[in-house]
Structures are given as C-alpha cells and as structure tokens.
Homo-oligomer: A and B are copies of this chain.
Amino acid sequence: MRGRYRGVLEYLESLPLIDHHCHGVFEDDPDRAAFEALLTEAEAGGPPGVSMFDTQVGFALRRWCAPVLDLDAHAEPDAYLARRAELGAAEVNRRFLAAAGLEALCVDTGYAPRALLDPPALGRLAGARAHEIVRLETVAEQVAAEGVDAHGFADEVRSRLAALAPAAAGAKTIAAYRAGLELSGVRPSDAEVTGAAGILLRQEEMRVGDEILHRFLIWCAVDLGLPVQFHVGYGDVDADLRRGDPLLLISLLRAMDAAGAPALLLHNYPFHRRAGYLAQVLPNVYVDAGLATHNLGHRAPALIAELLELAPFGKVLYSSDAFGLAELYHLGALLFRRGLAGFLAGGVEDGAWTSADAERVAALVASGNARRVYGI
C-alpha cells in the first residue's frame, strides 16, 4: 500500500492543480493573535487558554508549513511566527504560493477587509495563470453605492457585469450568507428587481440580502455564460449554516441545469455528501471541498472520500479557498493531493480500479474538470 500511495502521490505532485476558488493574501506580518484569528472562521482566536494552533489546521500548519520556512516539522507556534516575521511576508508569500504547485487560480476579489495581493500578483508568485471570479453581490453593491435609481438598477448591473465578464472565469454568489440558499428557480421580473432595488437603495448600509436580488444576479451571470460558484456550508460565523445547506438550492439548480448553466458548489462541509448527491443527479452541478480540506488537516482524507461517494469523478474540482495566509495555499494543495492519492491508491490496492484509471481520475480532479467547466 505504501508503495502504491507514493506512486499516486508522485503522479499528483507532477500535476499542477487548478485552484478554482481562492482569495488574496495579506502583505504584512501578523502577530500571534492576528495569525490565530486567520486560522479559524471565528472573528477572533479562542478564549483564554484555548489556542487555535491546537486544531487540525494548526497541527497541519506546524507539520507541513514549518519546513517551507526552513524549520523542522512541528516547530512550536512562537518559533514559527518568529521565523515568519524574520523572512517577511513577501518572502513567505512567495514560498507558499510557489509550493502549492498550481497551473491556474481563480481569485474571488469580492472580499477584502484590508489590502490583499491581487490576482496578477498571486499569479506571479504562484507561477500560474490568474483568473478573476466576479463576486455578484459586490458588483451590485458598488452600483448601488454609486447612486443609480431603482429603475436603472437592473440595467446598470447588467452592463457592469457584461463589462467584467470577458476577463472573468466565472461569477460567485454569497447568498448563503445573506438570504440563504432557498432560492427559487424562477427569474425575477424587472418589476420585482426594481422593487427590491428600491428597498436596497433606501438602506443606510446597502448590503444585498434580498433573495430576489440574489436570483437576479445569478441569472445575469448565466446569461453572460459565466459558471456560477455558490458559497455552501462551512464559512465564517456570519453565516447561518442551516441556510447554507445545498439541498435548499434544488429548485434553482434544476432551472440552471435546464439552461445548461454550470453551478459550482463550494466548501459544502458538513453537507458534502448532499452536495455529492446533487452533483450526481444534476448534470451541470459540480462540487469541491475547499476551506474544509485544510481545516480538517489530518482528517482531510475522510472528507475527500465522502465527497467522492456519489459525486461523479468528472464533477469534482480542487479549490483551496485560501484567504489571508499564504500558508493556506500550500496546505490546501498538499492535503488535497495527499487525500486524493490515499483515496485512489486505496482503490488500486483493493482492486476497485486500475492504476491507469487512478491516474486518469487524478488528472480530472486536479485540473481537467476545471479546465472543461471554465474553459480556461
């Protein structure tokens, strides 16, 4: 088994990945509290006495990231952070982005609480093509902030998205954080959009959170031929996880499927088996396990195996959902390759599939599926 695992892993290490959903990283050197806060989806690290290094992702980071900074594996947190500061964020970012072994990355630029490396910079560090993913709600909020009136809102959003589309690989919606995923499959009428826009424009903080507007934005993206990414499941504490269950999307996914429009369900944990079901029963639905893969650390193989229960292997993509810390680019890619290698090698060992099939599936999941869906 160990030999087979090595073989499949080496093959996967030879394949550059397409990271189809990720974010920028910071260019400054975080102190320990700031670093721990970036290791969790909470707003801050643990309460007194609880360290975010004592987590699956914390241990994985000490194990796999320390050597990239020339430390022994399992370096203590303070030693790790001291070395990180010594090298400086620019060098740290360079090392981890390069270590990820990417062919291309699709960067969601819609969330930036403070300055982050932009897609071209990420691409340069990674030695990979960088594509942009347009975050739909951000575009709508920019239009709203710029002073359109309710009647002009829909057209202005449409033309803004049309201008962004040619350079974008896809669009993303964060409806899961706002209205939730129980979105109907019906395109909203112009009158509905105008009504919802009117409400939005009268708010002090113009945050898109009306399910009519989410649907409108999604159909705008579909009409522009953009694959649509959905935040699903696991994410920061802002989200009400119940409303992030992918099964809530069934009506909209059926309608998108009928329109031949690809829908990409991101993260999915702990609903990843449900997402896999959707990927089986709807031809245009795709899934990944981003964010959860690095957060589960040593348990990532269990997640990958569960995702690959019902999801056809031609429907599963890789993403890191890395944000803020360049380490997460490396960890996501490394844990994904190792988890997938274990899954595929285990099947070869048990006679479930051949080595040739294992390599073919590895290539699909590493990049082939993303290349086909996004046309990149």
Tell me the A residues contacting B by CB distance below 8 Å: 40-42, 44-47, 49-52, 54-56, 59-60, 62-63, 73-74, 234, 236-237, 240-242, 245, 247-248, 250, 254, 269-270, 273-274, 277, 280-284, 295-299, 302-303, 305-306, 308-310, 312-315, 346-347, 350-354, 357, 360-361, 364, 372
Contact = CB atoms under 8 A, between A and B. Distances in A.
B237 A242 contact: no
Contact of A298 (B54, B312, B352): B352
A283 B42 contact: yes
A199 to B, nearest CB: 23
A312 B50 contact: yes
Contacts of A364: 54
B280 A55 contact: yes
Rank and list the top 9 A-B pairs by shortest CB-CB distance, nearest first. A50-B314, A237-B281, A270-B273, A298-B352, A54-B313, A242-B247, A47-B283, A59-B353, A42-B281
A303 B302 CA distance: 12
Contacts of A42: 280-283
Nearest to A352: B298
Nearest to A298: B352
Nearest to A356: B74
Contacts of A277: 234, 241, 270
B242 A242 contact: no
A314 B46 contact: yes
Contacts of A241: 247, 250, 274, 277
B296 A310 contact: yes
Contacts of A273: 269-270
Contacts of A269: 273
Contacts of A59: 347, 352-353, 357
A372 B247 CA distance: 36
Given A74-B354, A299-B306, A299-B309, 11 more contacts: A41-B281, A42-B280, A46-B315, A54-B360, A54-B364, A55-B280, A59-B347, A59-B353, A240-B247, A270-B273, A302-B306
Contacts of A49: 314, 372
A373 to B, nearest CB: 9
Contacts of A40: 280-281, 312
Contacts of A47: 283-284
Contact of A236 (B248, B281, B302, B306): B281
A41 B283 CA distance: 11
B351 A46 contact: no
A2 to B, nearest CB: 12
A274, A308, A314, most chain B CB atoms within 10 A = A314
B347 A50 contact: no
A12 to B, nearest CB: 17
A46 B262 CA distance: 12
A232 to B, nearest CB: 13
A241, A245, A306, most chain B CB atoms within 10 A = A241
A50 B46 CA distance: 44
Contact of A240 (B44, B250, B360): B250
A299 to B, nearest CB: 5
Given A245-B242, A248-B242, A60 B352 contact: yes
B237 A282 contact: yes
B54 A312 contact: yes
Nearest to A273: B270
A347 B245 CA distance: 31
Contacts of A310: 55-56, 234, 295-296
Given A247-B241, A248-B242, A41 B280 contact: yes
